[in-house]
Amino acid sequence: MSAGNVQGNFFRGYTHPLCVFRFLEITDGPAAREWLKRLLPLITSEAPWDAKPAATLNLMFTWPGLRALEVPDEVLAVFPPEFRQGMAARADLLGDTGADAPGQWTDGFGTGRIHVGLSIYALDDTSLRERLDWLEQAAAETGGVAVVSEQVANRLVRDGPGGSKHYPEHFGYSDGLGQPAFSGVPVKSPRGGGSPEAKDTWRDLALGEFLLGYENEGGEFPSSLLPEPLWRDGTYVVYRKLEQDVPKFRRFLQEHGKAYPGGAEKVAAKIVGRWPDGTPLALRPEKPDADLSWDDTRNNDFRYADDPLGMKCPAGAHIRRANPRDALPFGSSMVNSHRLIRRGIPYGPALPDGQSEDDGAERGFLFVAYQTNIARQFEFVQALWLNDGNKFGVGDDRDPLMGQGEGSGKMLIPGAPPHFLSPLPEFIRVRGGEYFLRPGIEGLHYLAAGAPAAAPAAGLRAAPRPDPLQQAVRDLGAQVADGLKAFGQNLAHGLQNLTLQHPHLTQAQLSLLRKHRPIFVLGKTAVVTRSADVREVLGDGARFQVAYGPVMAALAGPGTLGMGATAEYDHDAAALRAVVRQEDLSRIASFVDDLVPQLLATYRPGGRLDLVRGLCNVVPIRVLAEYFGTPGVSEDLQLRWSHQLFEEIFGNIWDNVADITPQGRAVAAQWSSYLDDLIERRREEQSAGVATPDDLLDRLLRQQQGDGPSLTDERIRANLIYMAVGFIPQVSKVTVLALDELLNRPQELAGAQAAARAGDLDLVAAYVWEALRFNAETPGLFRICPADTVLARGTERETRIPAGTLVLAATQSAAFDEEVVPEPDVFRTDRPWSTYLYFGAGQHQCLGEYVSRTQVPRIAAPLLRLNGLRRAEGDAGRLSWDGIWPKSLEVEFEAGS
């Protein structure tokens, strides 16, 4: 956590006496960004102060506000639903009904017009006035924002010994004593704020419960789908204006104080769970203790488990509901993910002590709470803990102070005899509120710069990624283990699922493995993630064998791809290499260069194209027809056949012939039969002296007449099938994935487009292959160890791999290995080709590598030259899947461009 990137009043609460909230509407996006730029230097952060600033400035934004600032739709769409909807839309859930309903709200709340919440805390009136004047001047100069409403607040103060202070609210209770304690911040919280643990200890909560970008109690990183500047060091804010009817509350206390033994002050204590001076009832059930209340080391250090009936602190008391500590089952695990940092402040004049007649003044409390998940934190607490009592065994009793909605209208104070506070009126009325995002300082810069262009913009420090944590490694282990155990003895299916689904292993998981378990052996499977080790596995076909042989043999006969390091392999591979010639590449290049513009031309008038069906699937099939001489029965069948056999061969990682499906066998038979016919016809044409095209089929057949190594008809057929199986689906998929990734990256897309327009194909290729690194087609390749072997011998990673282990050589991970890939998280177009391993390495390095490398950038370049290339709106513009295969991804461009 970088304190300088966190807006102030977060882990250290401001204590300035004066406060103004201003709520603004953005009337013009670009002008508002100019306005925001002016404000940036004045924003108060959590960086340590030399002296307390005379006036602070902080900003937060509603979802409509981010939209008004022209944050792109695809970013807006990934905010959590409750934030997108806003507080007013959640009224039923929150119990904001009747007099509390959004229709009754004031100050512009719930109207959609509040876009920005601006807060200023000041030491005195002069500083406050100066800051407000400055802000007005800035807004007048740039325009773009208009004030919707303003809220003045002022702290109430209760002085204690040695200059210590408590900050009560209008009902008279010292407030803010029970803040959460969390890790990763340079302040020490008083005992009792964290998670209650065994032996009377407290554990700091995870920072990610309150600050975005860090692991939370559940091991998650909330909102991390957003562009990093928008979440890094930000938080979500719940702001609620709660009007307090203090005379009514005091009359209620007086009335019940007459019947309840202990009087009005004890009723007040039972309602809240603390005596008004802050002394917790759990520690002092009979009377307040001033020394204790002023002692920060003790006044929050208490629990409820020894008081299940609530004889000391009622189960229905406010602080026991809002933070049940250890009162619920399973320790505090049901509580820890429902905590809030509260930074509220009262507004309006205090009602003089002892007065209980209505004075007509408006007063109340500005509830301000920080969290990383509004639904799970504020909304959960309000709806399930404050508005309902079922969880605490008090039926539908609501919180006596903060609860809303219908309830039983009573509160039970346990005792002998018990006492009912009934009827229980509402003392608080909700006057309005909003949900805000309070970004980090970088996030404010990002918004000011105009979100789309700013994503990786210059001047923004690239924040370090969250520290990988051992816990997450264990979770991953558990995940893999679960996947495997679920299938009992058949361990393979677990890993098969991992590799065939897309997306598969996440970058985070791989990064954790690289760091903590670079060679991760679990039962009969292993995952290898460091570049050097991946290369060792792929480079040694004897110790790490390919696992496709028997299945391939059973489908369409043996092919080189499935063979071990044998003489047979050497012979067949030599025959194949002899017919694949260097000069073929330029022929393929010009074929693709002609084909792609033709394909695009048909979509040009409409300005819309499905990248998958209209382009990426078509090109490799046409190249195959031209270069291999095997057009297939139809293009559609050619595609389906290759998908089917790919899944049969590469999805069947234990190479179990019994797992071949009937469809797989049928496809192999049909394809073989089609090729048999084709071979027979071509041979007849050759012997008849007819001019035949110079393609691989032709060369392989003529090779049979020569002296060098050649393939039998069966092997020709099998290898033509397997090359098509490797070639068609993967060329298509990697092209789609690379384009999909570029479409997510405005800056890189612009760079690739410029390269395409300048005719710099090498640079286009660099963009495409680098994009694929971030959107990998597969996590890696499988190999099987025939005998015990040692991997990474002589290094600290040295690990014994038992015979029969299935090894995933995670090429995706190797391309992010910090050891050999500089700045792995940065998109760079100057990386050496050896970074990528897209075509494997070693014996089975892809035969089609050069054909593919020639082809893929040439598919992309003409597309990138189109003007205004962008995703189509809505779902059509998102990549959809048919199993493991891309199904559609529609793009739009300027018609006729």
Partner 1 sequence: MPNSCGNATTTTVFAPILPGREEALQSVLLQIPSGDTSPFECLGNTHFTRFVIVDRLEYEAAPQIPDGLKSHYLLFNAVFDGPLDDFIASMLRHFPELVDRIWSHCVGYPGSANPAAVRTYLRHNELEATFFFAAYGNSTLPQVRKALALRGRLTQFAIGAQGASAEELQARFRREFAESAEGTR
The region of 412-420, 608-616, 707-715, 790-798 touching partner 1 under the rule CB under 8 A is 412-420
Q: What is the per-residue DSSP string for 519-543?
A: EEEETTEEEE-SHHHHHHHHH-TTT
- Least gap, CB of 34 to partner 1 (angstroms): 31
The answer to whether residue 831 forms part of the interface with partner 1 (CB under 8 A) is: no
Strands 116-122 and 519-522: unpaired
Of 593, 636, 819, 825, which lies in the binding site for partner 1, with binding defined by CB under 8 A? 825
- Least gap, CB of 222 to partner 1 (angstroms): 5
- Least gap, CB of 504 to partner 1 (angstroms): 9
Q: Which of 242, 505 has the CB closer to partner 1?
A: 505
Of 111, 408, 497, 686, which lies in the binding site for partner 1, with binding defined by CB under 8 A? 408
State how far the Cα of 711 lies from the Cα of 421, in Å rounded to an integer: 94
Q: Which two tokens stand for residue 95?
A: 């119990």
Q: Report the amino acid identity of residue 339.
A: R
State how far the Cα of 194 lies from the Cα of 216, in Å rounded to an integer: 13
- Least gap, CB of 646 to partner 1 (angstroms): 18
- Least gap, CB of 734 to partner 1 (angstroms): 16
Q: Which of 598, 880 has the CB closer to partner 1?
A: 880
- Least gap, CB of 508 to partner 1 (angstroms): 5
Q: Which of 27, 408 has the CB closer to partner 1?
A: 408
Q: ∠ CA 871-823-453 to the nearest 5 degrees?
A: 35
Q: Which two tokens stand for residue 621?
A: 């099939």
- Least gap, CB of 221 to partner 1 (angstroms): 4
Q: Which of 259, 669 has the CB closer to partner 1?
A: 259
Of 17, 213, 288, 443, which lies in the binding site for partner 1, with binding defined by CB under 8 A? 213
Residue 263 host element (H or E): helix 263-272
- Of residues 626, 677, 556, 660, the one with CA closest to residue 635: 626
Of 349, 795, 881, 894, which lies in the binding site for partner 1, with binding defined by CB under 8 A? 881
Whether the link from the prior residue into 518 is cis, omega within 30° of 0, is no
Strands 806-809 and 525-528: parallel
252 three-state secondary structure? helix
- Least gap, CB of 813 to partner 1 (angstroms): 13
Strand partners, 20: 120, 152
Q: Which of 516, 699 has the CB closer to partner 1?
A: 516
Q: Count other Cβ atoms within 10 Å, centred on residue 350.
A: 16
Taking CB under 8 A as the criterion, which residues in 140-199 touch partner 1?
none
The region of 176-184, 588-596, 634-642, 875-883 touching partner 1 under the rule CB under 8 A is 875-883
Residue-level length of the chain? 897
Taking CB under 8 A as the criterion, which residues in 240-279 touch partner 1?
259
Binding map of partner 1 across residues 655-694, x = CB under 8 A, - = no contact? ----------------------------------------
Q: Half-sphere exposure (CA, 13 Å, Cβ side) for 682? A: 23
Show the beta-strand stretches assigned E in 306-427: 341-342, 345-347, 364-371, 411-413, 419-421
Task: Give Cα 382 distance to the centre of its chain.
Answer: 26
- Least gap, CB of 466 to partner 1 (angstroms): 6
- Least gap, CB of 877 to partner 1 (angstroms): 14
Please list, in sequence order, all residues whose beta carbon lies within 8 angstroms of the beta carbon of residue 144, skipping any fewer than 6 positions away.
Answer: 26, 27, 28, 29, 30, 31, 32, 33, 34, 35
Q: Which two tokens stand for residue 391?
A: 């969880």
Of 105, 221, 347, 671, which lies in the binding site for partner 1, with binding defined by CB under 8 A? 221
The answer to whether residue 395 forms part of the interface with partner 1 (CB under 8 A) is: yes
Taking CB under 8 A as the criterion, which residues in 462-481 touch partner 1?
465-466, 472
Q: Which of 213, 346 has the CB closer to partner 1?
A: 213
Q: Which of 424, 495 has the CB closer to partner 1?
A: 424
The region of 25-33, 684-692, 765-773, 880-888 touching partner 1 under the rule CB under 8 A is 880-888
**Please, are residues 790 and 543 in contact by the beta-carbon 8 Å criterion?**
no
Size of the site for partner 1 (CB under 8 A): 29
The burial of 161, by beta-carbon neighbours within 10 Å (0-12 exposed, 13-18 middle, 19 or more buried), is given as: exposed
DSSP category for residue 775: S
- Least gap, CB of 883 to partner 1 (angstroms): 8
Q: What is the per-residue DSSP string for 79-99?
A: S-HHHHH-TGGGHHHHT--GG
Q: ∠ CA 652-654-657 to the nearest 5 degrees?
A: 65
First to last CA, the chain: 47
- Least gap, CB of 465 to partner 1 (angstroms): 7
Q: What is the CA radius of gyration of the chain?
A: 34
- Least gap, CB of 670 to partner 1 (angstroms): 27
Q: Which of 506, 673 has the CB closer to partner 1?
A: 506
Q: ∠ CA 602-605-607 to the nearest 5 degrees?
A: 95
State how far the Cα of 813 lies from the Cα of 531, in Å rounded to an integer: 7
State how far the Cα of 214 lies from the Cα of 678, in Å rounded to an integer: 60
Taking CB under 8 A as the criterion, which residues in 492-511 touch partner 1?
503, 506-509
Q: Count other Cβ atoms within 10 Å, centred on residue 604.
A: 16
Q: Which of 349, 883 has the CB closer to partner 1?
A: 883
Q: Could you identify the residue written with the tokens 């079922």?
A: 390
Taking CB under 8 A as the criterion, which residues in 505-544 touch partner 1?
506-509
Q: Which of 395, 868 has the CB closer to partner 1?
A: 395
Q: Which of 452, 468 has the CB closer to partner 1?
A: 468
- Least gap, CB of 422 to partner 1 (angstroms): 5
Show the beta-strand stretches assigned E in 191-323: 195-197, 201-203, 235-244
Q: Which two tokens stand for residue 797?
A: 């990673």
Task: Give Cα 720 distance to the centre of its chain.
Answer: 42
Q: Which of 738, 846 has the CB closer to partner 1?
A: 738
**Please, are residues 640 and 765 in contact by the beta-carbon 8 Å criterion?**
no
Of 224, 235, 299, 789, which lies in the binding site for partner 1, with binding defined by CB under 8 A? 224
The region of 275-283, 299-307, 866-874, 877-885 touching partner 1 under the rule CB under 8 A is 877-885
State how far the Cα of 65 lies from the Cα of 151, in Å rounded to an integer: 19
**Please, are residues 711 and 722 in contact by the beta-carbon 8 Å criterion?**
no
- Least gap, CB of 897 to partner 1 (angstroms): 29
Binding map of partner 1 across residues 413-442, x = CB under 8 A, - = no contact? -----xxx-x--------------------
Of 17, 53, 193, 222, which lies in the binding site for partner 1, with binding defined by CB under 8 A? 222
- Least gap, CB of 882 to partner 1 (angstroms): 8
Q: Which of 613, 699 has the CB closer to partner 1?
A: 613
The answer to whether residue 410 forms part of the interface with partner 1 (CB under 8 A) is: yes
Q: Count other Cβ atoms within 10 Å, centred on residue 636.
A: 11
- Least gap, CB of 264 to partner 1 (angstroms): 17
Residue 821 host element (H or E): none
Q: Which of 508, 580 has the CB closer to partner 1?
A: 508
Taking CB under 8 A as the criterion, which residues in 65-94 touch partner 1?
none
Which residues of the chain form contacts with partner 1 (CB under 8 A)?
213, 216, 219-225, 259, 395, 408, 410, 418-420, 422, 465-466, 472, 503, 506-509, 825, 880-881, 883
